[in-house]
Structure 1
Amino acid sequence: MMQYSDFAVSGRQVSRLGFGAMGFAGWFGEQSEAEHIRALLLALERGVNFIDTARAYGASERIVGEALRQWDGPSPFVATKVEGLAGITQWGTPVPVEHAFPKGQVIASCEASLREMRLERIDLLQLHTYWANWGISGTWMEELQQLKDQGKIGQIGISVPDHRSDMVLPIVMSGLIDSVQTIINIFDPTALEVLVPVCAHNRVAVIARCILDEGGLTGFLTADAEFPEGDFRRDYFDATVPRGAYIDKVDALRRFVPANASSLAALAIKFALHDPHVTTAITSMHVPDFAEANSAAMDEPRLRDEVFQLLMTRHRFIKNFNNVKHFGRLP
């Protein structure tokens, strides 16, 4: 049964399992647009009402908009992200904020998102990347506040670019934002130690992402698995650690299945949502099978606290695959 939580001070309740629409960009291989739409509609039918997309995700916003026009149920909570102009490096290393979000870029990106999804209002607009050296003020923040005052967006959020979640603590405590999106999974649970409690104290929503570690925590990866052209995971699992080491870490989790979860994927989802201060956890459900399987995990009992603690403390495998994702494999 789907669970819901309050989204910061919005007055809205959102599903604790969220629909990540990055897969609509084709970065996990090719699927048809019709299949994407079926997946989103199926997720909505299963009670998912939080959708996360971005200007940078290719056709994702347009596909989300088309699915919403076919949906006749309650309006979901739609979140998207401002497109930065500094190129791929803005997610890998800090760039000057005026390079990523120069004057007018936040407003222009929001207007484009509204047109693409054919919406009058976006529930949550997030900076797609945020670096601590940007501080908490500037044109970018003024434009976000302006859009909120105009009613074009409901809430303001930021997305942590990589695993260093503590870097956003000052802006979380500033009272200027409503949500933070950050990596939380079995292999890297560090955001649960500091960032999540600070967000809870400041009534800032937490959006967990990469909860399946780009699919690795589902156990799909094998020694001879190959990825098609266009799938960013062609290098992702091999460049920073030997693939065999990654597979060994996943295999160590198999002893928790089925006693504590029906599958490795369900175990990862339940782990990411164990802390009640995680508002929603998004995962890519770009095909109907993923939407069905991931939403089914919500029907399972909560992880026992002792199992969560064992996963939290003894199964960490912290590595920064983001450099590979954004810069490619070293020559």
Structure 2
Amino acid sequence: MGIKKFENIPLAVLDLAPINEGAETAQAFKNSVELAQHVEKLGFNRYWLAEHHNMPGIGSSATSVLIGHIAGATESIRVGSGGIMLPNHAPLVIAEQFGTLETLYPGRIDLGLGRAPGSDQATAYALRRTLQSSGDDFPQQVAELENYFSENPVGRVRAYPGTNLKIPLWLLGSSGFSAQLAALKGLPFSFASHFAPDYMMQALQLYHQNFKPSPALASPYAMLGVNVIAAETQERAEWLATSSQQQMFSLMRGEPTTFQAPIDDLEEVWTDREIAIFREKLDSESMIVGTPDVVKQKLKNFIQKTRANEVIVNSPIFHQEDRLRSYDYLAEMMN
């Protein structure tokens, strides 16, 4: 089945390989494989995994390894990182890893790059062994990575495999920094509007106004993240959404947990302030929750407002059958 579109743009999938309460990590990976195979059949354009560390509810920490696992279990869907947090790694290592992935699965691998640590400060130190790599040198790291992938790399060090491989580089961001860098380098840009919607329009404006054509890209291409939870009734969709909110609140409290099952009575578990935040989230652009009709209209409004070239959907849903069904509803909206 070919790539399908919604409102004339492709839809993609963002996966954090959620580790459910009471389940093993192995089950999270099985769920991710099942979801990737499912959305490939439904006509989604790409399947990205995100790097996070020291979070018991997220299984995608070894992002490159999991990308290979997903690519090996699928046939045609693009698979990539949303993203690799480059300050955590030596660019040469990432060039070799993605050079290997592209060699194994030619024409199917995306390399999305972020500058945040994807973790707390202590974990960043454990990853980097030094806090001198703060993200400020992100432009230099990206340039180093581009050099490793070029046809004639400058310097004595080469990435094998990696040299002269046409792996699409994306820059990811939740502020204006990466938007401007992506524009200046003529690269596609993905904005994390699924958790930073307040900066979305400003970042898009910076990207479009400053874009310079490059050999990689002739005109701007922006992909935006959005959380979507679709179910047969509004009540069930909002119930399913409480899992995602529990994860957010646990991070706000500095007490990350495994991905929790939905809760029935908010007042027994959450404070009045947390309930208010949840209700506010349900009305926000970053989380679209509801019946297929509600989701279709809100997603349409989101695309019309942002003029996105592509939308990448995160559906943080505890029960696998509900998660698959939510993507089914999205596929039914695609032509």
TM-score by length of 1: 0.59
C-alpha distance 66-122 of structure 1, shift in aligned 2 (>3 A): same
Q: Is the contact between residue 50 and residue 77 of structure 1 (CA under 8 Å) also seen in structure 2? A: yes
Residue 3 (structure 1) shift: 0.8
**Paired residue for 2:95, among 110, 117, 138?**
110
| Equivalence for 1:170 | 180
Residue aligned with 2:239, SS: coil
Measured in 2, the distance between the counterparts of 1:3 and 1:226 equals 28
Taking every aligned residue pair, what percent have the same amino acid on both sides?
9
Matched, 1:294 2:327: yes
| Equivalence for 1:326 | none
**Paired residue for 2:239, among 171, 195, 220?**
220
Measured in 1, the distance between the counterparts of 2:64 and 2:176 equals 30
Residue 182 (structure 1) shift: 1.4
RMSD: 4.5
| Equivalence for 2:14 | 20
Q: Is the contact between residue 221 and residue 247 of structure 1 (CA under 8 Å) also seen in structure 2? A: no
User: Structure 1: which 5+ runs fail to align?
Assistant: 7-14, 86-99, 303-331
TM-score by length of 2: 0.58
Residue 139 (structure 1) shift: 4.4
Listed one character per residue, the Cα deviations across residues 133-184 of structure 1 (whole Å, up to 9, x for unaligned) are 8478524313224315434343222221x4xx2333431331x141222122
| Equivalence for 1:235 | 250
Measured in 1, the distance between the counterparts of 2:61 and 2:289 equals 36
Q: Is the contact between residue 182 and residue 207 of structure 2 (CA under 8 Å) also seen in structure 1? A: yes
C-alpha distance 21-244 of structure 1, shift in aligned 2 (>3 A): closer
**Amino acid across the alignment from 1:245:** A
| Equivalence for 1:249 | 280
Listed one character per residue, the Cα deviations across residues 243-278 of structure 1 (whole Å, up to 9, x for unaligned) are 12123325658xx998xx636655554444334731
Residue aligned with 1:37, SS: helix
| Equivalence for 2:232 | none
Residue 2 (structure 1) shift: 3.0
Q: Is the contact between residue 51 and residue 85 of structure 2 (CA under 8 Å) also seen in structure 1? A: yes
Listed one character per residue, the Cα deviations across residues 44-101 of structure 1 (whole Å, up to 9, x for unaligned) are 10100212124552355444433433434xx22333233445xxxxxxxxxxxxxx45
**Amino acid across the alignment from 2:31:** E
C-alpha distance 135-226 of structure 1, shift in aligned 2 (>3 A): closer
RCO comparison, higher one (Cα < 8 Å, 6+): 1
**Paired residue for 1:181, among 169, 187, 190?**
190
Q: Is the contact between residue 86 and residue 141 of structure 2 (CA under 8 Å) also seen in structure 1? A: no
Measured in 2, the distance between the counterparts of 1:28 and 1:17 equals 29
| Equivalence for 2:154 | none
Residue aligned with 1:173, SS: helix
Q: Is the contact between residue 237 and residue 243 of structure 1 (CA under 8 Å) also seen in structure 2? A: no
Q: Is the contact between residue 180 and residue 207 of structure 2 (CA under 8 Å) also seen in structure 1? A: no
Matched, 1:44 2:40: yes
**Amino acid across the alignment from 2:44:** V
Measured in 2, the distance between the counterparts of 1:27 and 1:205 equals 34
Q: Is the contact between residue 222 and residue 310 of structure 2 (CA under 8 Å) also seen in structure 1? A: yes
More helix per residue: 2
Matched, 1:156 2:169: yes
**Amino acid across the alignment from 1:77:** R
Measured in 1, the distance between the counterparts of 2:31 and 2:138 equals 40
Q: Is the contact between residue 190 and residue 224 of structure 2 (CA under 8 Å) also seen in structure 1? A: yes
| Equivalence for 1:195 | 203
Q: Is the contact between residue 157 and residue 177 of structure 1 (CA under 8 Å) also seen in structure 2? A: no
User: Structure 2: which 5+ runs fail to align?
Assistant: 53-59, 118-133, 152-162, 212-218, 230-236, 255-270
Measured in 2, the distance between the counterparts of 1:28 and 1:151 equals 44
Q: Which residues of 2 match residues 253-264 of structure 1 at below 5 A?
A: 262=292
Q: Which residues of 2 match residues 138-157 of structure 1 at below 5 A?
A: 138-149=140-151, 150-157=163-170
Residue 126 (structure 1) shift: 2.5
Matched, 1:66 2:69: yes
Measured in 2, the distance between the counterparts of 1:288 and 1:62 equals 25
Matched, 1:129 2:119: no
Listed one character per residue, the Cα deviations across residues 209-258 of structure 1 (whole Å, up to 9, x for unaligned) are 24349xxxx52378xx678xxx84351477899212123325658xx998
